[in-house]
Amino acid sequence: MESVQKKRMLRIKSPEDMARFVKEQKKAGRTVGFVPTMGFLHEGHLSLFQKAVETSDCVIASVFVNPTQFGEREDYINYPQDTERDARLAEEAGVDALFLPDESAVYPNGTAVTVKVNEKTDVLCGRSRPGHFDGVATVLTKLFTIVQPDHVYFGMKDAQQVAVVSSLIQAFHFPVKMIPCPIVREPDGLARSSRNVRLNADERKEAAELRKGLEQGMKTLKQGERDFEKIADAVRSYYRGHLKLGKIDYVDVLNYPDLKRNGTVLSGRFIIACAVRYGRARLIDNITGSTAALFSEKEGEV
Amino acid sequence: MESVQKKRMLRIKSPEDMARFVKEQKKAGRTVGFVPTMGFLHEGHLSLFQKAVETSDCVIASVFVNPTQFGEREDYINYPQDTERDARLAEEAGVDALFLPDESAVYPNGTAVTVKVNEKTDVLCGRSRPGHFDGVATVLTKLFTIVQPDHVYFGMKDAQQVAVVSSLIQAFHFPVKMIPCPIVREPDGLARSSRNVRLNADERKEAAELRKGLEQGMKTLKQGERDFEKIADAVRSYYRGHLKLGKIDYVDVLNYPDLKRNGTVLSGRFIIACAVRYGRARLIDNITGSTAALFSEKEGEV
């Protein structure tokens, strides 16, 4: 940003106004960084804003709870929202413009035309949430066309989302660079999520075990195990011993970002991922890395 | 174009080179007009080029036979091609750059991510060719993202395509204006089509009846008939009397461009459309208009 005095963050409602704002930025030669969110911002989002501020001239964030990516109506209706808090946090983090469109503005002709993701979706969250990534890809296609970003920032907590959005960018030739950012965690290791507020005290305490289970998988891997299922079994076994309230949705070990089992032996980049349900909250977590660099592994490597 | 001496047309193979070319044009303040085609150009295409030259500063055309919009493998494999002739005609018509991408360049990750058209496709050609408009919308999403046109030009022969592409533009917020252009016909009334070359002499002669049948529908409409089915019956009855070789795929009368039957009475803008098969050639034709302006009707009004 040119001025020492930080400019106030713009709030933009309509796609037309956003397109105009972006056009001005590009005309002035500024690179545009974009962080799409569903709001109820937490430290994870703020780390994306920070990365965007560091690497783009103009930072645009969106808060839009996208109806088409929810399978369960209840989860959509109850998705936590606090726009005023979101706007304050975004402004403090250095966001230049916050896009707050209505559903009818984003979906002017409803679901007349949508995006379908045909690969990478039959595993992990894609299997548990049919249609979820179609909804994600649909709304991002719209947002990318409106915002025309040079860089987009996504958190690795949704590692499958990062993989799918990379496919989307490649398939539709969006002139945008995907910048995945590491998972941000609570002090006890729980991955930050807007859905964590739905946990009661006992669930919240137990949820710290999710990360520990994944670390058991990593330990097995570091000890030389390369069979996908045996690594996943180590995680499952840990959860059987430590989760009393949570119900496992999946534990899976796959090559990353293609999300396939290339034969039975894990090699190259990989992901150890889980989803666990606590009442109305479904939590996800993962560790990614590469077998080549196993002993210098750092979490969230992408 | 600034210079009196007409510049040579560029031929561009890669999406990256095309994106670069477009960026230069935009930087120079030129509006970009885009005419996507499947090649084997005829007078219909040339009329689109002409309209584009009249209304855009820089005219880009593409020749790409899109595999995902063909249901029948045979039709795709046998789709007529003559790139050198296409290039010559495009250059003569004033096209500035011809985009000739390979399949692997357009579909770098195959069909990992595609577009789905959920409205306007259960009638007319959409019903006869399931998946056809998904393929059209998929390739156009890619091409629109690469070419970033200000205007796109489509022929009204594919009236359903014009309706679907308008939905696509609205749904994905492409900052582009759709410019539909009138059907161009042979002297005997047959709509120009790349597939006309597949007709033998007898079929070619009979094919002129397609238009005449649609005119019977118009006549019925002008006489005061407003029932969709009765107007369609007039067309079908004409075809029964005049088509000996062609096999009717559909005859339909609908509101346009929503392609619905709003009740049983035709009102507002409408389309009378047909598809007829001659061996390997499936020909389509239509008349659009508005009931309000019935007596000043001109064909191809859009």
pLDDT per residue over A49-62, tens digit each? 999 999 999 999 99
Query: How confident is residue A191, by pLDDT bands cut at 50, 70 and 90?
Result: very high
Q: Which residues of B touch A110 (CB under 8 A)?
A: 119
Take residue A179 and report the two structure tokens written for it: 């910048």
Dig out the tokens for B133 from the structure: 């408009």
Residue A68 burial class via C-beta count within 10 angstroms: exposed 0-12, middle 13-18, buried 19 and up: buried
Q: Say what the pLDDT of residue A111 is.
A: 98
Question: Closest partner residue to A171 among B112, B116, B119, by Cβ?
Answer: B112
For residue A13, give the 3-state DSSP assignment.
coil
Residue B89 tokens read as 């005609």
pLDDT at A302 over 70: no
Distances (CA, A) of A224 to A7, A219, B211: 53, 9, 73
Q: pLDDT tens for residues B51-83?
A: 999 999 999 999 999 999 998 777 899 899 999
* Beta pairing class for B177-181 and B151-155: parallel
Backbone angles phi, psi at A34, to 5 degrees: -130, 130
Q: Omega of the bond prior to A257 within 30 degrees of 0, cis?
A: yes
Give the pLDDT score at A3. Answer: 47
Amino acid at the residue B252 = D
Contact flag A171-B107 (C-beta cutoff 8 Å) = yes
CA of A155: how far to CAs of A52, A243, A257, in Å? 12, 26, 14
Sign of the Cα torsion B195, B199, B201, B202 reads negative
Is residue B45 annotated as a catalytic residue, yes or no? yes
Q: Which helix (H) or strand (E) holds B76?
A: helix B73-77
Of B19, B107, B113, the CB nearest to A115: B113
Residue whose token pair is 């389309």: B271
Q: Rounded to whole angstroms, how far apart are CA atoms A2 and A96?
A: 12
- Angle in degrees, CA B51, B159, B131, rounded to 5: 120
How many inter-chain contacts (A to B, CB under 8 Å) are there? Answer: 90
Q: Find residues 158-177 of chain A whose CB sits inside 8 Å of chain B.
A: 167-168, 170-175
pLDDT at res. B275? 97
User: Which ipTM was obtained for this model?
Assistant: 0.93
Closest residue to A167, CB basis, from B109, B115, B137: B109
User: What integer pLDDT is reported at residue B3 of this predicted model?
Assistant: 47
Rounded to an integer, what distance in angstroms lies between the CA atom of residue B8 and that of residue B5?
9
Dihedral sign, Cα of residue A6, residue A13, residue A85, residue A138: negative
Q: Concatenated DSSP letters for B115-176?
A: EEE-SS-SSHHHHHSTTHHHHHHHHHHHHHHHH--SEEEEEGGGHHHHHHHHHHHHHHT---
Do the Cβ atoms of A114 and B113 come within 8 Å?
no
For β-strands A97-99 and A10-12, DSSP reports them as parallel
At B263, is the secondary structure helix, strand, or coil?
A: coil
AA letter at B253: V
Q: Which of B26, B115, B11 has the alpha carbon at shortest distance from B63?
A: B11
Mean pLDDT over B208-216 rounds to 98
Tokens 């084997």: give the residue.
Answer: B40
Per-residue model confidence (pLDDT) at position A263: 72
pLDDT of residue B1: 46
Quick check: B301 pLDDT over 60? no
* Contact across the interface for A167 and B108, Cβ inside 8 Å: no
Residues 6+ apart with CB under 8 A from A50: A93, A94
Share of chain A above pLDDT 90, in %: 87
Candidates A62, A30, A60, A35; CA nearest to A47 is A35
Give chain A's domains with CATH numbers. 10-181 (3.40.50.620), 194-296 (3.30.1300.10)
Q: Are A255 and A160 in contact (CB under 8 A)?
A: no
Report pLDDT digits (tens) over A116-142.
Answer: 999 999 999 999 899 999 999 999 999
Residue A192, annotated as binding a ligand: yes
Distance of CA B12 to the CA centre of its chain: 23
Local structure of residue A215 (DSSP, 8 states):
H
Taking an 8 Å cut-off on Cβ atoms, the answer to whether A109 and B167 are in contact is yes
Task: Point out the catalytic residue in the list A45, A132, A173, A242.
Answer: A45
Return the residue of A nearest to B26 by Cα.
A27
Q: Report pLDDT for A300.
A: 45
Mean pLDDT of chain A, nearest integer: 93
Other CB atoms within a 10 A radius of the CB of residue A241 amount to: 11
| pLDDT, tens digit (0-9, with 9 covering 90-100), for A257-300 | 999 887 777 778 999 999 999 998 999 999 999 988 775 545 44
pLDDT above 60: residue A41: yes
For residue B300, what pLDDT is reported?
45
- Per DSSP bridges, beta strands A58-63 and A97-99 are parallel
- Nearest-Cα distance to chain A for B33, in Å, is 18
pLDDT at B6: 66
Q: Please work out, in degrees rounded to the nearest 5, the angle formed at the alpha carbon of residue B272 by the alpha carbons of B208 and B80.
A: 50
Residue A105 in contact with partner chain B when CB distance is under 8 A: no
What's the mean pLDDT in B245-256?
96
Specify burial of residue A29 (Cβ count, 10 A radius: 0-12, 13-18, 19+). exposed
- Output the pLDDT for position A187: 97
What confidence tens digit (pLDDT) does each residue in A8-29 have? Answer: 999 999 999 999 999 999 999 9
**B117·A113 Cβ contact <8 A:** yes
User: How close are the terminal C-alpha atoms of chain A, in Å?
Assistant: 28
Q: Which of B174, B208, B209, B202 is nearest to B188 (CA)?
A: B208
The answer to whether residue A179 scores a pLDDT higher than 60 is yes
User: Coil, helix or strand for B224?
Assistant: coil
Say which residue the tokens 């780390």 belong to.
Answer: A47
pLDDT digits (tens, 9 = 90+) for B285-298: 999 999 887 755 55
The answer to whether the bond into B257 is cis (omega within 30° of 0) is yes
Residue of A110, A145, A167 with shortest CB distance to B113:
A167
Catalytic residue chosen out of the listed positions B45, B132, B151, B173 = B45
Cβ-defined contact of B116 to A116 (cutoff 8 Å) = yes
